[in-house]
Amino acid sequence: MFEDPFLRKFEFAGNLSEDERTALQLLTLTRRPVPARRDIAESETGDRVYLVMSGFACRYKTLSGGNRRIVSFVLPGDLCYMHDSGAFARDLRVGTLTQCSVVDIPRARLEELIGLHPGISRAIWWVTLRELSRAREWIVNDTRPADRRLAHILCELFVCLRGIGMADEHGFDLPVSQTDLADALGISAVHINRVVQALRTRGRISWSNDRVTIPDVQGLKAFAEFDPAYLCLDGFGP
């Protein structure tokens, strides 16, 4: 068991050697705090990859009318802008939802480690495939009714946070706003309020003081048609 969410996440792709673990840990020694509601990228040049070590953030895009759409959440241990070295991806931003601790990794250094260490190369592949898989699932999730869509996102957060030791068997801390969830679901602030109330009334979740409790996890997963296979937590296995 690692305390480090970055290493814990990478180990889902397969075991890392001691050398690989050490190399990854050395990457994360220098961290900077980023206050809530800020973009984490400090430069537009694409020469850095950003690693969130604590806090909640999101990948998002803002339309010309001001509407924000969150396309995925960023949790501790997640790399950001990993594939965004080209101008083609700069429209997608990464912003903090809570205060975060962020590591700035020189892209060249990460590429060097990928070349030197097969375990790190495999883990980066895993992260890439997982992001694609998750993006597909979010597109499909948009087809579900809003209550099941929200339930699905809560199940995803639950499983991902469990994977890094940040959820217990019945719930997790969720210090984001209802508006953040609305923007992740693509629904209005009024609609998200109704959907949260509906899940509460039916006893599927409770959400107070930034804590989500799920009394019947299997029941919520069934309601959401949630199959965690898309999160690739079994690595590259069959």
Tell me which residues touch another protein (CB under 8 A): 65-67, 188-190, 193-194, 197-198
CA gap 39, 176 in Å, rounded: 16
Report, in Å, the least distance between residue 187 CB and another protein. Answer: 10
C-alpha dist (Å) from residue 203 to 169, 206, 209, 216, 217? 17, 7, 17, 9, 11
CA gap 213, 35 in Å, rounded: 26
Considering beta carbons, is residue 29 or 190 the nearer one to another protein? 190
Considering beta carbons, is residue 7 or 224 the nearer one to another protein? 224
What stretches of 86-171 show up as alpha helix (H) in DSSP? 107-116, 118-141, 146-163
* Backbone φ, ψ for residue 168 (5° rounding): -95, -170
C-alpha dist (Å) from residue 150 to 56, 126, 183? 17, 26, 11
Considering beta carbons, is residue 30 or 64 the nearer one to another protein? 64
Considering beta carbons, is residue 170 or 194 the nearer one to another protein? 194
Report, in Å, the least distance between residue 165 CB and another protein. Answer: 34
β-strand partners of 168: 171
Structure token pair of residue 219: 């029941």
Report, in Å, the least distance between residue 214 CB and another protein. Answer: 21
Report, in Å, the least distance between residue 185 CB and another protein. Answer: 13
Report, in Å, the least distance between residue 157 CB and another protein. Answer: 24
Place of tokens 């809570």: 98
Considering beta carbons, is residue 38 or 202 the nearer one to another protein? 202
Place of tokens 């690693």: 51
Do 97 and 176 meet the contact criterion of CB atoms below 8 Å apart?
yes
Considering beta carbons, is residue 15 or 178 the nearer one to another protein? 178
Report, in Å, the least distance between residue 71 CB and another protein. Answer: 16
CA gap 6, 4 in Å, rounded: 5
